[in-house]
């Protein structure tokens, strides 16, 4: 078969361009450190890397949700700890009020102490979560969840939040708030059921009774018994809520560990799909560089085979 010089020339040009493209691609891979810089380089590997990247993004979003929940629950655990201490102090104060040797002024002094404890408990129940909301705001509250109403005597505290709790937008079930109504407005019976016993109203009733100068020792003891009964139910409920929060915090440690493992697996998959084997890449680059130089020499030789070169 007769091969024309023009065909050889075009073939040489085409080969040279291909070698140049291969060398450019190898150089780009070495510069970026990635074998796949565009989907066209390896569609299958690019798809694997994209799925891994989406998994990493989901894991990062879940981790942010866990961080927010962990912060809120840490605040809640601390707040409930404060509440338990205040209720224990209130309990001791109520017990002391049953002392038959106490005068009316002694009981009134204890009532003043209970009033202060009640104020502190209300402040604790309205503790902000640091993010513009409230720890016990339930499913959302733009204002403090517990407010005091003086429409009745003794005054009462009402929950103005939305019952329930907010969960973070995450594949893991984690809370951002707690149900303040369930924790603060109910007491836990011995069988575990909840009954409507309001800690603030229970203390307000005890304060009102102890401030009455006409009550006798027997009346004071009745006040003590009733107050202790209500307070113990409420204290049991708050302690139970604190235990639940502690369990949440422990569970989040496990969630964080799983998220870390999931992210590492996705990062490894992404790396396997698109990263470059540098040792092999350098060898390939050197081979392509040698091939390109050979193509240049071939092209130079073809140029010398024209008729004009022969005549000259």
What gap in Å lies between CA 296 and CA 299, rounded to an integer?
5
Residues 6+ apart with CB under 8 A from 121: 83, 86, 87, 90, 199, 200, 203
Q: What local confidence, expressed as pLDDT, does residue 276 receive?
A: 65
Residue 183: CA atoms inside 13 Å, Cβ hemisphere, count?
33
150 token code pair: 């003086």
pLDDT tens string 37-66: 666 667 887 788 889 889 999 999 999 989
Q: What is the pLDDT of residue 7?
A: 61
The pair phi, psi for residue 192, each rounded to 5°, is 95, -10
Write down how long the chain is.
312
Query: Per-residue b/e over 198-220, b at no fewer than 16 CB within 10 Å?
Result: bbbbbbbbbbebbbeeebeeeeb
CA distances from 252 to 71, 101, 146, 169 (A): 11, 52, 28, 15
Helix (H) or strand (E) holding 201: helix 199-210
**178-210 pLDDT per residue, tens:** 898 999 998 888 888 888 888 898 899 889 888
> Which DSSP symbol is given to 168?
P
Q: Which residues of the chain have a pLDDT value below 70?
A: 1-41, 141, 151-153, 275-283, 285-312
Beta bridge partners of 134: 128
DSSP state of 34: B
């Amino acid at each position: 078969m007769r091969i024309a010089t023009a065909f050889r020339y075009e073939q040489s040009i085409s080969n040279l361009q291909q070698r140049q493209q291969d060398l450019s691609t190898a150089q780009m891979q070495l510069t970026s450190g990635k074998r796949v810089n565009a989907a066209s380089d390896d569609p299958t590997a690019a798809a694997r890397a994209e799925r891994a990247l989406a998994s990493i993004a989901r894991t990062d979003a879940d981790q942010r949700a866990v961080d927010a929940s962990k912060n809120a629950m840490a605040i809640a655990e601390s707040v409930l700890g404060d509440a338990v201490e205040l209720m224990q102090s209130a309990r001791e104060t109520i017990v002391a009020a049953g002392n038959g040797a106490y005068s009316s002024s002694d009981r009134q002094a204890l009532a003043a102490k209970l009033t202060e404890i009640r104020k502190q408990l209300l402040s604790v129940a309205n503790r902000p979560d640091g993010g513009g909301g409230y720890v016990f705001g339930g499913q959302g509250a733009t204002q403090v969840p517990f407010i005091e109403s003086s429409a009745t005597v003794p005054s009462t505290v009402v929950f103005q939040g939305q019952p329930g709790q907010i969960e973070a937008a995450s594949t893991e079930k984690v809370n951002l708030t707690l149900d303040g109504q369930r924790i603060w407005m109910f007491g836990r019976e011995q069988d575990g059921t909840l009954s409507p016993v309001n800690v603030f109203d229970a203390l307000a009733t005890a304060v009102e009774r102890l401030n009455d100068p006409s009550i006798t020792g027997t009346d004071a003891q009745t006040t003590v018994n009733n107050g202790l009964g209500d307070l113990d139910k409420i204290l049991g409920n708050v302690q139970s809520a604190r235990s639940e929060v502690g369990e949440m915090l422990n569970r989040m440690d496990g969630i964080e560990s799983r998220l870390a493992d999931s992210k590492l697996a996705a990062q490894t998959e992404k790396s396997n799909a698109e990263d470059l084997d540098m040792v092999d890449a350098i060898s390939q680059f050197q081979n392509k560089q040698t091939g390109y130089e050979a193509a240049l020499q071939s092209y130079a030789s073809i140029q010398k085979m024209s008729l004009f070169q022969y005549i000259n």
